[in-house]
Amino acid sequence: MAYILQQLLSKSAKRFPEKTAVWARGRSISYRELDERSNQLAHLLVQSGVRKGDRVGIFFPKCVESVISMFAVVKAGGVYVPLDPAAPVDRVGYIISNCGIRVLITQDEKRRSLDAATRESLDRCVIVDKARESGNGTGVVPWSALAEFSAVDAPQVTLTETDLAYILYTSGSTGRPKGVMLTHQNALTFVEWCADKFQITHEDRLSNHAPLHFDLSVFDVYNAIEAGATVYLVTEEIALFPTTLQKFMETHQISIWYSVPSALVLLLLHADLKAEKLPRLRTILFAGEVFPMKYLKQLAELLPAVELDNLYGPTETNVCTYYRVDRERLASMDKLPIGIACENTEVFAVNDQDEIVTGPGQSGELYVRGPSVTYGYWGDVEKTQKMVVPNRFQPNFEEKIYRTGDLVTLAEDGNYYFVGRRDSMIKSRGYRIELGEIESALLSHPGVREAAAIAVPDEVVGNRIKAVVAAHQPDTLDATALQQHCAARIPKYMIPELIEFRSTLPKTSTGKVDRVGLSRDSQPIAV
């Protein structure tokens, strides 16, 4: 049994050395190559100063080198931090500084896009594409330098399953993203559960639709490697175009698909999914947001032999509950449950009286305990103490449990159902978005006095975002300028599509911004 992630690769590299492990952008690498290249890169990282527990950034659009880099960092004893290649420079710079990244694996162009202070904070950049000849500066190493290092084994480091493996940054309510720390054990608890539950074999062909900084990709990459299967990475030029995506599924004869529901809805609406063209497709997993029932029923009808599973869990627990779609029940269902706890995980709902909910129909906040639960947020003790709390429901030993902030109802059939959020976090295309982070970006503009970000429910992407803003001086601001201001601070999927200006924002009796009133009477977003 593996206790650290790289053991999954060494095991499969021994069993299937010449089999394709990863395919991306028309290129593929075998298990042997993946093992050897990641050994070499691990040695280069150690030579670059990476020691056990050090954070290493991975900052380039996904390709086979992404997977090499993930394994290389953990083989070097480090902790990898996937950085969104499309994120604003300011946000990437914040993350690099927040978790103290000194070594970055990146592209020449991406390195140049960083601000000077961030570039100077880095000891070394390993450049995956060809580094330009001139002006590279010190500390820039081309990918070709890997050839100088041993491919046969990884550096000697002592790791246990309780060491960190990676940090995933997610939207933070106070205006800055927060880094969720995940250990090898956190990841493997989920990977091993999936391997058993979905019976993944070396004959499977997995897709990777989610970006690598998004926790859905943990399944795609590590479960493929665990089984000796092949993972096919979906890049933006494919993901944006439903027909292209459909052809990708057909060409590579994907057998296990995992994505946010909105990707599947776009395939249903704008592509031509046919069961006979996808004869090997056997399992579709989805997570990240609520699947609209109308479309789930269409998907089930279109692909009658495919098993459908709804996975639920915040990044802090990876996945903690699941619901296997019961096709006989589906027609009469009007809401999809998030299901029951995964094995080796316990979940329970806690009501306002701080009691564990036991009876059907009762609601509460969902708590999670078990080996998949995060240690907390990098460098943020306060936020960690708020969310990863001592288990007050058993007195015998010290342990931590995670409060999800999600309100759920326990139903008669034993399944949990998602009801809503305790705070103002929303989902759009499966991305977690704290409305407070958007408001902080708006308020950081000197002309803005008040700002409220509002989620507008949308059947396809979950939510779209608009904002209502009051300026210090009337008529001094326009929406485009504010959107541009936001683009320098938050990812594009968080920028309000529409910004409405008012002289002042309406307040509730307690003096807070009246979000409910605003979402009711503000301008609609154009379809």
Partner 1 sequence: MTTKETTVKDQVRQFVTEELAAAKGVTVVSDDESLIENGVVDSLGIFRLVTFLEENFGVKIGDEEISAENLQSVNMIEQLVLSKGKK
User: Count of alpha carbons within 13 Å of 89, Cβ hemisphere only?
Assistant: 12
Intra-chain end-to-end CA distance of the chain, in Å: 51
Neighbours of 27 (CB within 10 A): 11
Query: Which residues, at least 6 apart from 352, have a Cβ–Cβ distance to it below 8 Å?
Result: 364
The residue ranges that bind partner 1 (CB under 8 A) are 86, 236-244, 262-263, 266, 270-272, 429, 460-461, 464, 479-480, 483-488, 492-493, 495-498
Q: How far is the CB of 42 from partner 1 (least distance, A)?
A: 30
| Residue 202 zone, left/alpha/beta (φ > 0; ψ -120 to 50; rest) | alpha
User: How near is the Cβ of 8 to partner 1 at its closest, in Å?
Assistant: 32
Q: How far is CA 292 from CA 4, 283, 299, 311, 335, in A?
A: 37, 19, 11, 14, 8
Please say which residue, 424 or 428, places its beta carbon nearer to partner 1. 428
In this structure, are strands 164-170 and 205-208 parallel, antiparallel, or unpaired?
unpaired
By C-beta, is 240 or 356 nearer to partner 1? Answer: 240
Farthest CA pair distance, the chain:
69
**Residue number, 269 or 389, with CB nearest to partner 1:** 269
Q: Is 371 left (phi over 0), alpha (psi -120 to 50) or beta?
A: alpha
Residue 217 or 259: which CB sits closer to partner 1?
259
The type of residue at 431 is Y
Our CB check for partner 1 shows the closer of 155 and 462 to be: 462
Residue among 488 and 516 whose Cβ is closer to partner 1: 488
Contact status, residue 184 vs residue 3, Cβ threshold 8 Å? yes
Residue 220 burial by Cβ neighbours in a 10 Å radius (0-12, 13-18, 19+):
buried
Q: State the minimum distance, in angstroms, from the CB of residue 476 to partner 1.
A: 18
Closer by beta carbon to partner 1, 4 or else 233 = 233
- Please report how close the Cβ of residue 499 comes to partner 1 at its closest, in angstroms: 9
Query: Which tokens go with 397?
Result: 């030993």
Beta carbon of residue 493, minimum distance to partner 1 (angstroms, whole number):
7
Cβ burial of 347 (10 Å; 0-12, 13-18, 19+) is buried
Which residue has tokens 């342990």? Answer: 399
| For partner 1, the closer CB: 195 or 441 | 441
Quote the Cα angle for 275-277-280, to 5°. 75
- In the complex, the smallest distance separating the C-beta of residue 347 from partner 1, rounded to whole angstroms, is 31
CB of 307 to partner 1, least distance (A): 25
Residue 239 Cβ vs partner 1, minimum distance, rounded to whole Å: 8
**Cβ 179 to partner 1 shortest distance, Å:** 23
| 202/212 Cα distance (integer angstroms) | 22
| Residue 245 · residue 270 · CB < 8 Å | no
Least Cβ distance, residue 456 to partner 1 (angstroms): 12
Cβ 247 to partner 1, closest distance in Å?
9
Q: What values do phi and psi take at 408, rounded to 5?
A: -130, 160
* 287: phi then psi, degrees, rounded to nearest 5: -165, 170
What token pair was written down for 477? 């601001």
The smaller minimum CB distance to partner 1, of residues 7 and 235, is found at: 235
Least distance (Å) between residue 488 CB and partner 1? 7
**Backbone angles phi and psi of 453, in degrees to 5:** -95, 135
Quick one: 148 or 497, whose CB is closer to partner 1? 497
For the CA atoms of 49, 221, 187, 59, the dihedral, rounded to the nearest 10 degrees, stands at: 40
Q: Decide whether 155 or 242 has the Cβ nearer to partner 1.
A: 242
Question: What's the number of CA atoms in the CB half-sphere (13 Å) around residue 354?
Answer: 3
- Give the three-class secondary structure for 370: coil
Q: Which is nearer to partner 1, 86 or 516 (CB)?
A: 86
Taking the C-alpha atoms of residue 295 and residue 288, their distance in angstroms, rounded to an integer, is: 16
Kindly tell me which of 410 and 461 has the beta carbon lying closer to partner 1.
461
3-state secondary structure of 249: helix
Q: 210, 216 in Cβ contact below 8 A?
A: yes
Nearest approach, Cβ of 177 to partner 1 (angstroms)? 17
